[in-house]
Amino acid sequence: MKSEPEAFSIGDLRSAGRAPWDGVRNYQARNFIRDQMKVGDLALFYRSNASPPGVVGVARVASAARPDPTALDPKHAGFDPRSDPQAPRWFLVDVEFVEELAAPVSLAALKQDPALKDMLVVQKGQRLSVQPVTAGEFSRVLELGRATGSG
């Protein structure tokens, strides 16, 4: 799950403990939230539009998908005038803070790792803000992020 630190950082999630992952306005990402995410699922927290971009922590899905109220709020930046309360267009899940990585795994590091060559986030032109990660990719990223070794 991607977030720009100026909007919502891993530190913000740590402080809040739990927060609604609102503002997703892409249908494919919406579908992952609505149709794939289950309470208890773990997610990589990816920091985008930052230096460096990369995975900075772990979150846990803490609620079922529900309509994103910010899409219905005219005062909110995420307001979508086509979203109908009776037929919600945009969804969110709550997420809980799990872990902040001791060693954030930069996008460059993800790209360098042969074991992660098929990971969606390293593919060219890949912009989805919510995307699936395999169990193998997930554990590999944590392995990198928890490493304390020589550097």
User: Which of 27, 73, 118, 146: binder of DNA (CB under 7 A)?
Assistant: 27
Supply the minimum distance, in Å, between the C-beta of residue 2 and DNA: 5
Which amino acid is present at 138? F
Give the interface segment with DNA, choosing from 36-44, 46-54, 65-73, 136-144 (CB under 7 A): 46-54
> Which of 2, 10, 83, 104 lies at the binding interface for DNA (CB under 7 A)?
2
Stretch that binds DNA, among 35-43, 96-104, 119-127, 134-142 (CB under 7 A): 119-127
Binder to DNA among 25, 60, 66, 76 (CB under 7 A)?
Answer: 25
Rounded distance, CA 148 to CA 103, Å? Answer: 7
Tokens, residue 31: 């579908």
The residues binding DNA (CB under 7 A) are: 2, 4, 25-28, 48-50, 53, 82, 107-108, 124-129
